[in-house]
Each structure stands twice: as structure tokens, then as C-alpha cells.
Structure 1
Amino acid sequence: MKEVIENNVIFIKKTEERDLPYILTTESHHDNMPYIINWTLEEHEKAIRSDTNLLHLIVIEKKENKPVGYLLINGLNNPNQSIELKRTAFSAKGKGYGRNMLKLMKEWVFTEKGANRFWLDVVDHNTRAKTLYESEGFVVEGLQREAVIINEQFKSIYLMSMLKKDYLKTLE
């Protein structure tokens, strides 16, 4: 990955260990807890240091130079050219940071990485995220019933994806 991926609102860069307190706080915030499986500090540290198949990234708002979210990208070594948006969590909601991040990552995945498919899963009750993904061109491929445990409850997840050919059509 380039040092920084950016637009006029945010920049995205590799997470550093000094960013982890922010990430752990954001991940465990009550607004995010119903939607993601929290990692331990050790899991985040391992992802930052040693996982060559996964990118741990932080989203920084440019104007005030402060973190507003983070994301995990998985499948960098996937021989099928399929990259996963494994997780996103934002501390600042409703300000367009998630949409900006998604636009930047789609461009990076399809142009820089040359992927054919960009995919994610989203818990079925996270309608805000699902609506955002659909508005950015992701298509629901199916529903995996009670596929994950979040906060000690089984949750169903939508599998969503975008193909490179679909992404290229949005550029025309």
C-alpha cells in the first residue's frame, strides 16, 4: 500500500501501535458493539506487526488531523483476486467519513491491487451500514443465518460484494 491513501476529507494509513488505544476504545464503544466482534490488544498488535495477508488501517480526518475510524482489509494474498473489507468502526458517525473511506478503498482494491472482487459481510440489523454499502454499489449475495456470535447472541450476516466490472461502470 502507498504510504497514505487520501482525498480532500480523510487520509488512510497503516495503523501504528500508538493508535491502538483509540482503536480499542472505538471498537468497544456502545455504538459499535452490536455490530462487530471485538479483538484483544494482542490480536490487533499481531495484525499490525506480522500478518502479510491483512492490512490494519486508521482513518484520519484531515482538517483537525484526528482519528475518526479504522478498518481491516483481508485477503491481500488471495490467488482468486478477492479482497475482503473485514471490519470498519468509526467514532464519528454521520459525517461522511465511512463513505469517503469506502470510495478510497474501492479505488485502491480495484486499481492498485488489481482485485476482481471486493466483499464484506454486515450483520443484518446494521441497516445504516448495509444502506451505505448498497449505495456504493455493493450487492447482497445472500444471508448467512445466525453465522456469528456478537455480545453472546447469534446474529445473521449479509454477504455483499462488488466486482471490478461493476466498479469500472461507475467511473464512466
Structure 2
Amino acid sequence: MALHLRGTGTAEHDFVLSAESDPEAADFILPRSRHEHERALDDPDQAHLLVADDDRPVGFVLLAGILDKNRSIEMRRIVVSPPGKGLGRPALPLVLDHAFGALGAHKSFVSLAVMSILAPEWAARRLKKSD
């Protein structure tokens, strides 16, 4: 498995909508409409990213606050498909590395408690850097 992030294109909208409407995802998020996803793609303050395994989409993430003057980025949603197959754990550090690296975030709306469960190595590195 070689997960990576790339921008979501309109060709992937069916995948995004299908992943959100998966009954297992319903416990965590409310599905958005195609129009809402299109608006997010056109909004310079949001990053709509596809999580891909090679070229196959396996999830997506929506980040907001890209233009925030305090460089505080919100992870608005992350969905992997199929859920429960171990894709979220390796995807989350990719997303956060992108937010703090490419997007220049100083803060993110993700608790360390969640990070220590989903990505303990990444959380430990970040804690060590902040000392």
C-alpha cells in the first residue's frame, strides 16, 4: 500500500459521494451534496484532497481555514473507503503533514488524544519538536 494525497477532481465526485453515504460512515458524518463538494473545490479557503493508493481513490479529506491569518487549519472531514480496513491510520499523518508542511499551518483542529491513538509515531515526533 502506497498512500498519497492529491487534489480531488470533478471526476472523483462519485467516489466521494459514495464514500460519504456508506452506512458505516454514517455514525461519524452527515453526507454532503454534490453541490457542497463542488463549492469546496472552488473555495480558496478549503483544500479538498483525495487519499489514493497508487491511482485508486480510498478516501478524501476536507481542510478549511487555508487562508486563516493565524494559519490555523481545521480538518473538517476525513472519510476512508472501505471503513475498518486500516486506511485511516496511515492517511491521517499524510493529511497533517500536508497541512503543516505544504499549507504552512501552525495549528490544526485535531486533538493530541486522537492523534496518539490513530498515529502515535507522528504525535510523538510533533511533541518532541515542540519541547
- Shorter chain as normaliser: what TM range? 0.7 to 0.9
Aligned twin of 1:23: 16
Aligned length: 127
The structural deviation recorded for 1:100 is 1.9
Cα distance change, pair 17–36 in 1 and its aligned pair in 2 (3 A):
same
CA contact (8 A) 2:62 2:77 kept: yes
The DSSP-based 3-state class of the residue aligned with 2:38 is: helix
Equivalent residue of 2:44, what SS?
Answer: coil
Matched letter for residue 52 of structure 2: I
Q: State whether structure 2 residue 99 is matched by structure 1 residue 99.
A: no
1:133 aligns with 2:115: yes
Note if 1:77 corresponds to 2:105: no
* Alignment-derived partner of residue 51 in structure 1: 43
Corresponding residue to 1:34 among 8, 17, 27: 27
Query: TM-score w.r.t. structure 2 length?
Result: 0.82
Q: Which amino acid aligns with 2:19?
A: T
More helix per residue = 2
**1:167 is aligned with what amino acid?**
R
Cα separation, 1, equivalents of 2:5 and 2:16: 14
Larger Rg: 1
Q: Map Cα deviations across residues 98-134 of structure 1 (whole Å, 9 max, x no partner).
A: 122211122222233222211148xxxxxxxx97533
Q: TM-score, normalised by structure 1?
A: 0.64
Aligned-pair identity (%): 28
Q: Which has the higher contact order (CA 8 A, sep 6+)?
A: 2
Equivalence map 1:61-76=2 (5 Å): 61-62=53-54, 65-76=55-66
What value does the CA root-mean-square deviation take over the aligned residues? 2.7
Q: Which has the larger share of strand?
A: 1
CA distance in 2, matches of 1:94, 1:131: 20
| Equivalent in the alignment of 1:148 | none
Instruction: Mark the runs of 5 or more structure 1 residues left unpaired by the alignment.
Output: 1-7, 122-129, 138-161
Q: Could you say if the C-alpha distance between residues 171 and 19 of structure 1 is closer, same or farther in structure 2, counting changes exceeding 3 Å? A: farther
